[in-house]
């Protein structure tokens, strides 16, 4: 990035993360706030503008551009989303234009999974591969795809809305049995809360159970809670089915998994390997090709900043197709 500075913003269903990125893609400062439960594009733009100002600091240091990663089906030319299940603003809202007007600097908006993939392929777990899938599992579930060293930009990335069980639970997209409804962070927490009503668990009182998160479920499973471990096992089975489909279609060199659910890797991954051993029989080495993302919670922000640099005329070292 030379001496230029960029801000990367990663808008998720649960939180908005932003980071000031400097030389060598180093994170100089970062901030996170909850994603608003309700609101419109103008309110969202105001909140993002406030985050940028906070990262600039009192000296209001120069920022060359801002990159923003958003979930859903993204219209980069118009600078908004056409559909976003986990983003609570109207479709087709001109988010980029509103933010540019507020900040007075260039803003570049793109799919959040594209940002995640840019970061992991340039600086993270995907550096040694030319054909890979980068998956983020958190409030939502999505993927980015690299083929022959080029990030494929036509994909919507909505792996979470692939049907795993056509008679399964309703999903926020309006469908049923989607992977996201079975293996996302909220899905894991919801399954644990439902089962805790009738099964023994260490999750605590009724009031505590009502506030349970996926992180709590992984912690309890790690400590020997049988019900929580079974909840994680069911999520791993669904993920195994989804991953088997990806391997059958694309046969990647590697599948990189990040996002909030990956924080439970030590519990999740062994169960995922068990699932893949039966669900991906044509790919006996599938589990060995599944790797944990390297950049943690910063990946989306770093990728968004790299994306902004590329759009401004720099080079991320990652080609797009």
Judgement on whether residues 134 and 109 belong to the same structural domain of the protein: no
Judgement on whether residues 150 and 194 belong to the same structural domain of the protein: yes
Judgement on whether residues 255 and 270 belong to the same structural domain of the protein: yes
In a domain, 122, yes or no: no
Judgement on whether residues 180 and 102 belong to the same structural domain of the protein: no
pLDDT in 10s for each residue of the chain, 321 residues: 457 899 999 998 888 999 999 877 788 999 999 888 766 778 888 889 999 999 988 657 889 999 999 887 787 777 777 666 666 666 667 889 999 999 999 999 999 999 999 999 999 999 999 999 999 999 999 999 999 999 998 888 899 999 999 999 999 889 999 999 999 999 999 999 999 999 999 999 999 999 999 999 999 999 999 999 999 999 999 999 999 999 999 999 999 999 999 999 999 999 999 999 999 999 999 999 999 999 998 899 999 999 999 998 865 555 555
The per-residue DSSP string of 289-321 comes to GEEE-SSGGGHHHHHHHHHHHHHHT---S-EE-
Phi, psi of 286 (to 5 degrees): -55, -45
Q: How far is CA 199 from CA 194, 202, 226, 230, in A?
A: 9, 10, 10, 12
Q: Residue 133 and residue 125: Cα distance in Å, rounded?
A: 11
In a domain, 1, yes or no: no
Judgement on whether residues 179 and 262 belong to the same structural domain of the protein: yes
Domain count, the chain: 2
Q: Residue 314 and residue 2: Cα distance in Å, rounded?
A: 10
Q: Which domain holds residue 239?
A: 128-293
């Amino acid at each position: 990035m030379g001496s230029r500075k960029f801000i990367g913003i990663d808008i998720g269903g649960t939180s908005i993360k932003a980071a000031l990125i400097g030389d060598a893609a180093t994170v100089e400062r970062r901030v996170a706030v909850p994603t608003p439960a309700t609101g419109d594009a103008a309110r969202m733009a105001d909140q993002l503008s406030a985050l940028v100002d906070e990262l600039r600091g009192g000296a209001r240091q120069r920022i060359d551009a801002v990159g923003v990663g958003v979930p859903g089906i993204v219209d980069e030319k118009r600078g908004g989303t056409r559909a976003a299940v986990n983003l609570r603003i109207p479709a087709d809202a001109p988010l980029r234009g509103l933010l540019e007007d507020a900040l007075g600097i260039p803003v570049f908006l793109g799919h959040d999974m594209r940002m995640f993939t840019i970061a992991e392929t340039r600086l993270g777990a995907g550096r040694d591969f030319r054909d890979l899938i980068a998956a983020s599992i958190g409030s939502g579930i999505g993927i980015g795809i690299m083929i022959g060293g080029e990030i494929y930009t036509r994909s919507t990335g909505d792996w979470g809305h692939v049907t795993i069980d056509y008679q399964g639970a309703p999903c926020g997209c309006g469908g049923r049995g989607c992977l996201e409804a079975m293996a996302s962070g909220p899905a894991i927490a919801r399954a644990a809360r439902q089962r805790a009503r009738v099964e023994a668990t260490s999750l605590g009182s009724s009031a505590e159970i009502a506030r349970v998160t996926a992180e709590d479920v992984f912690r309890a499973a790690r400590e020997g809670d049988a019900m929580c471990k079974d909840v994680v096992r069911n999520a791993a089975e669904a993920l195994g089915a989804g991953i088997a489909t990806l391997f059958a279609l694309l046969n990647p060199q590697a599948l990189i998994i990040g996002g909030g659910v990956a924080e439970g890797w030590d519990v999740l991954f062994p169960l995922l390997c068990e699932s893949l051993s039966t669900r991906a029989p044509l790919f006996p080495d599938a589990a060995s090709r599944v790797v944990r993302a390297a950049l943690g919670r910063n990946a989306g922000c770093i990728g968004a900043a790299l994306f902004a640099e590329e759009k401004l005329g720099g080079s991320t070292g990652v080609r797009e197709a």
